[in-house]
Structure 1
């Protein structure tokens, strides 16, 4: 799925690409999923950034670091029409987020504005969410959230600037609010950078009466990137 070499199963990685793909393992921040130094204990493990500015969701995880082969795979899914990558990626995400899954939880992707969706033709986060629902047996509501206005590209902006851009940009689809009342929600995105987009989605879900909110990304940008 990365270099085109033959593998033993469909949608697999050859040994070389597997070794070059930065899967996240070991001790991670329980809020954002970034790897941290040390071993887990009975206390909640968090990175310095999440201790300083706690995210609004309950817990978060990611399957990969956004670097090397992982970055290439994410970009192929996002911009290269490699929609078939969503299925194996969802398997990796299910493994990375196994501690977040709850009975009766609803899965929802980060939404695209309709104009961007029209140009791209698909929402990569929605593809991941659908496949994750099939992988876990949990309900997936692809249009649970809507982006009310088109926001500029967030690359290069600080966390504060990203938050300002996204303020009031995301809301619950008026016909989907009943899916949220009193339920746990798993928000799905392809890449988590500052977490501003997922924070905006979290606040929209909380305002609509959701219970606990968890986030799961395919890839996590390193804090010093």
Structure 2
């Protein structure tokens, strides 16, 4: 009945498609999918000729605390349009398609893993009505049979936009902003966690989340995002 009233359309170009939760063939081809060879620590794509699993220069310079990054796409015009539609356009139906894509890119996980979204401050949730990362986390947990932990992390203070800020300024802005509620800390110790966000830009916010989880005793923290900002890698896919 829904399809009769609202015929399925590609959310990127508006072309007719078979189901409500997909893209047309042409728009699928505009997404930049990261592949191999890639960094053994953060999965940053390499140029051909570099041994798969080598460590990239940023990870050598400052080894990350996370245990891997699983990105469904690299950030480009198409992924940006999907993210903005989900994040600011109230297109919550896109979460199922985007979350499924992210789930497929994750390494092997089981029911013992926790799926936790990057938190929003309560004022931003009240203004927007939802946390887009939490909507993606719900889909991933359902598809991979893992445990959803929507409130594992909390954003204790509102933070300004990090765009345009340097590394030190980002860290200052996020200092003390993200933590784990007391009632949740016992469940973090020894846990294996997938940290979910829609887009990974500088990594400052995810770094703050990973640091909080590791300090609380998490065994492993893998970051999952729909789009990762790596402009220099777009020509490699």
What TM-score does the superposition give when structure 1 sets the normalisation length?
A: 0.91
**What is the root-mean-square deviation in Å for CA atoms of aligned residues?**
1.9
Q: Which residue of 2 aligns with 1:163?
A: 171
Q: Given the alignment of the two structures, is residue 56 of structure 1 paired with residue 65 of structure 2, yes or no? A: yes
Aligned residues: 223
Shift of the 186–39 alpha-carbon distance from structure 1 to 2, 3 Å rule, reads: farther
**1:163-185 superposed Cα distances (whole Å, 9 cap, x missing partner):** 22112210002222232121111
**Secondary structure, in 3 states, of the residue corresponding to 1:83?**
coil
Q: C-alpha displacement at 1:153, in angstroms?
A: 0.5
Which of 28, 43, 50 lines up with 2:38 in the alignment? 28
Shift of the 39–74 alpha-carbon distance from structure 1 to 2, 3 Å rule, reads: farther
Which of 128, 132, 143 lines up with 1:135 in the alignment? 143
**Secondary structure, in 3 states, of the residue corresponding to 1:107?**
strand
**Secondary structure, in 3 states, of the residue corresponding to 2:44?**
coil
Shift of the 15–223 alpha-carbon distance from structure 1 to 2, 3 Å rule, reads: closer
**1:128-172 superposed Cα distances (whole Å, 9 cap, x missing partner):** 111110110100110100011111011111233212211221000
Q: C-alpha displacement at 1:39, in angstroms?
A: 6.1
Which has the greater radius of gyration? Answer: 2
Instruction: Provide structure 2 residue ranges, at least 5 long, that are not aligned to the other structure.
Output: 1-10
Q: Which residue of 2 aligns with 1:146?
A: 154
Q: Which residue of 2 aligns with 1:17?
A: 27
What TM-score does the superposition give when structure 2 sets the normalisation length?
A: 0.87
Q: Which residue of 2 aligns with 1:2?
A: 12
> Is the CA contact (8 Å cut-off) linking 1:130 and 1:140 kept in structure 2?
yes
Instruction: Provide structure 1 residue ranges, at least 5 long, that are not aligned to the other structure.
Output: none
Superposed structure 1 runs of 4+ greater than 6 Å apart: none
Q: Which residue of 1 aligns with 2:197?
A: 189
Q: C-alpha displacement at 1:46, in angstroms?
A: 2.9
